[in-house]
A and B are shown apart, each in its own frame.
Chain A
Amino acid sequence: GAVVSQHPSRVICKSGTSVKIECRSLDFQATTMFWYRQFPKKSLMLMATSNEGSKATYEQGVEKDKFLINHASLTLSTLTVTSAHPEDSSFYICSAPPSGRAGEQYFGPGTRLTVT
């Protein structure tokens, strides 16, 4: 089946630094990818839709300048958390829809970000 990978799986950074998280679709092309944030014991919150070759679409309340998204190719989207603060610590998950399966998503394993 289709696989989505994320790198790194876990990252610790200091306040004020930036962190880049990669999301790759390994055996299919994805013109669209999605980035979610999962808080402890809570659901996944959709942050933004990453669009290949164009700007990302952010959900209401998500800071565009803080969470930079780049969809450089049909298999790679990156999320950069800029000037990270402890409140940005969270579990970030990406997903990609397989072609022809409306609404269905393949999810990456997630990236645990800890900002100290």
Chain B
Amino acid sequence: AQSVSQHNHHVILSEAASLELGCNYSYGGTVNLFWYVQYPGQHLQLLLKYFSGDPLVKGIKGFEAEFIKSKFSFNLRKPSVQWSDTAEYFCAVSGGYNKLIFGAGTRLAVHP
């Protein structure tokens, strides 16, 4: 069965600190991988996605993620976070029929 595991449930950082959120998935076939973000009071938005090709993908707002097939991982990174990055981040995998399976989410709080 497909599953997604996010290692950090709650992360607190100061502005300008670097961020890395872990995501591991379990799926037997070809996967599409996503990071979605939910800002306070807003709906889920796509941050970045990986379908194929370059395993290092760049998304909006300076975020990037690296797909490491051998580790079944798709970690999210940002070199320097801002207060406006305070949000909940969800890793997701899609293996077919457009269905998304989400991880538990990581709540990021950035302090000025």
Report yes or no: B98 in contact with A32, Cβ–Cβ below 8 A: yes
Q: Which residue of A lies closest to B46 (CB)?
A: A104
Q: How many interface contacts (CB-CB < 8 Å) are there between A and B?
A: 55
Report yes or no: A44 in contact with B90, Cβ–Cβ below 8 A: yes
How far, in angstroms, from A36 to B17 measured CA to CA in the complex?
Answer: 33
How far, in angstroms, from A102 to B98 measured CA to CA in the complex?
Answer: 6
B74 to chain A, nearest CB (A): 13
Report yes or no: A93 in contact with B94, Cβ–Cβ below 8 A: no
Partner of B102, one of A43, A104, A109: A43
Report yes or no: A105 in contact with B100, Cβ–Cβ below 8 A: yes
Q: By the criterion of a CB under 8 Å from any partner CB, how many residues of chain A are at the interface?
A: 21
Q: By the criterion of a CB under 8 Å from any partner CB, how many residues of chain B are at the interface?
A: 22
How far, in angstroms, from A16 to B46 measured CA to CA in the complex?
Answer: 37
Residues of A within 8 A of B68 (CB): none
B71 to chain A, nearest CB (A): 21
Residues of B within 8 A of A102 (CB): 32, 51, 94, 98
In the complex, 28 of the A-B residue pairs with CB atoms within 8 angstroms, ordered by the A residue number, are A34-B99, A42-B105, A43-B90, A43-B102, A43-B104, A43-B105, A44-B44, A45-B102, A46-B100, A46-B101, A46-B102, A49-B97, A93-B43, A97-B98, A102-B32, A103-B51, A103-B94, A103-B100, A104-B34, A104-B46, A105-B44, A105-B46, A105-B100, A107-B36, A107-B43, A108-B43, A109-B42, A110-B43
